[in-house]
Amino acid sequence: MSQPLIEFQGVEKRFGDTVIFKDFNFSVEDGEIVSIIGPSGSGKSTLLRILMTLEGIEGGVVNVAGEPLWHKRTANGLVPADNKHLHRMRHHLGMVFQHFNLFPHMSVKRNITEAPMRVQGKTKAEAEAIADELLELVGMSDKADMYPNELSGGQKQRVGIARALAMQPSILLLDEITSALDPELVDEVLDVIRNLAKKHSFTMLLVTHEMYFAREISDRVCFFDQGAIVEEGEPEQIFTAPKETRTQAFLNAYMSQ
Amino acid sequence: MNGFDWDWQFTFEVMPTILEAAKVTLLATLLGSCLAIVVGLSFALLRRSGFFLVRSITYWIVEFVRSTPLLVQIFFLYYVMPEFGISMSPLLTGVLALGLHYGAYLSEVFRSGIDGVEKGQWEASRALNLSVFDTYKDIVLPQALRPMIPATGNYIIAMFKETPQLSAITLLEMLQVAKIIGSENFRYLEPFTLVGVLYLLFSLIAAYGIHCVERRFPKEGITLK
């Protein structure tokens, strides 16, 4: 079996005195779509944020594509990564945020072309060709010249997805991307992800509260509680026959809502 | 000299000289503002440096400049620096002192403007792998600018009103010139009143200008297509 694309080995993460992860182990295969569910405060988002290098770790190693993310290999073993290393590693990853975090002073198109131009050194024409393609993919071609405050939440999030894809990441991190949306706008965003999952061979890691969606799209579902994976398995098994009582309790509480 | 006999003829006689001096005042303010903005932005960015030493040295420089009188700084630059082989004209000294002094104040304005940009903007920039430089240039500063305008404007007007302090190093700005006219003609009422009115006029115009800039500035910041 090949090496996993993402691998957490004995990771420790604290916020002050609050321990989020302790000796945390987790891995994702290349091309796998993994949903993470669980109560808030269980460390779901922190997991994605560590991968996106928005949060550091206090112990252990995180490997991405066979290389340590937060460390650099040297003759004397692993040392904490410098900015250059993090910059290089970030090319593997793209992230879509719960609150979109679009750049409000930029047009939709500029939101998407900014990073390809600045980071990958693409010309304006090249970047705009990519943007046009992605806007079509997310069904936003007609909104290219609008500004984020002129868009609905669902439209904003579709731009957020296009923006992340413009950097051609091999791993897409989706952090509760529908949690800030009105219920009637959730589906237009999930449809985009469904399409992506079908057409492309992304590795996707999603933190979500949309249980039906997680069940439909995932290869594997992980139930998190208090910084640990309580139970993981195929979606059918997790949602129809959870083994752990904590998983059962969580899902029952969810379904009865 | 008996009180309130306003002499219009004398007023018009001295007006050109005072207006000429007003140019010096405005020039000092203009150059001082430009320098203050550059200094202020530099200090604000250094205060956010990743290096503790850089942060704390900048902090103490800003505190030092803000906690000592402008006049002391002006005297120091004009009378002490030549002992170290650096002598400058009164105007250059004035611009430097004003720029440094108000730059220290502006750095706090800029810092809070930058702090006011949502954390999510930094995170999105990082996730997109933008460099720190590009993040400031394209994402953070364009958004931070608008909230900075009113306070920056107020400081520039305050600087304008402090230019008479430069008369202490023989800069022939408005007030100094008015004083000279007064002592030569034994009439102070008209020259000083003129200077006061000119300061009022310029301040009001500047305040209105700043208000307009703020109102017309897009709420999201400098928009980029």
Q: Is the pLDDT of residue A183 over 60?
A: yes
pLDDT beneath 70: ranges in chain B = 1-3, 225
Q: Is the pLDDT of residue A62 over 70?
A: yes
Q: Do A147 and B222 touch (CB under 8 A)?
A: no
Is residue B217 assigned to a domain?
A: no
Domain ranges of chain A: 31-52+92-255
Identify which of B127, B143, B225 has the shortest CB distance to residue A52: B127
Is residue B194 assigned to a domain?
A: no
Is residue B223 assigned to a domain?
A: no
Could you tell me which chain B residue has the CA closest to the CA of A112? Answer: B128
Q: Is the pLDDT of residue A42 over 70?
A: yes
In which residue are the tokens 């002129």 written? A150
Are B149 and B212 spatial neighbours (Cβ–Cβ below 8 Å)?
no
Any B CB within 8 A of A106 CB:
yes
Is residue B157 assigned to a domain?
A: yes
Identify which of B120, B127, B221 has the shortest CB distance to residue A99: B120
A-B C-beta contacts closer than 8 Å? 78
- What is the average per-residue pLDDT within A79-89? 94
- Phi–psi pair at A40, nearest 5 degrees: -70, 150
Is residue B165 assigned to a domain?
A: yes
* A212-221, A248-257, B141-150: range with lowest mean pLDDT: A248-257
Q: Is the pLDDT of residue A1 over 70?
A: no
Q: Do B139 and A52 touch (CB under 8 A)?
A: no
Q: What is the total count of domains within chain B?
A: 1
Is residue B224 assigned to a domain?
A: no
The full DSSP string for A59-125 is EEEEEETTEESSEEEETTEEEE--HHHHHHHGGGEEEE-TT----TTB-HHHHHHHHHHHTS---HH
Contacts of A252 (CB under 8 A, 6+ apart): none
Is residue B83 assigned to a domain?
A: yes
Q: Do B129 and A119 touch (CB under 8 A)?
A: yes
Identify which of A114, A119, A149 has the shortest CB distance to residue B220: A149
Any A CB within 8 A of B137 CB:
no
CATH of the domain at B166: 1.10.3720.10
**ipTM entry:** 0.93
Q: Which domain, by its residues, includes B92?
A: 24-172
Is residue B11 assigned to a domain?
A: no
Could you tell me which chain A residue has the CA closest to the CA of B128? Answer: A115
**CATH number of this structure's domain A31-52+92-255, picked from the four choices 3.10.150.10, 3.40.50.300, 3.30.460.80, 3.30.565.10:** 3.40.50.300
Identify which of B123, B218, B221 has the shortest CB distance to residue A97: B123
Alpha carbon distance A34, A220 (integer Å): 5
- What is the average per-residue pLDDT within A1-6? 82
Q: Do B221 and A163 touch (CB under 8 A)?
A: no
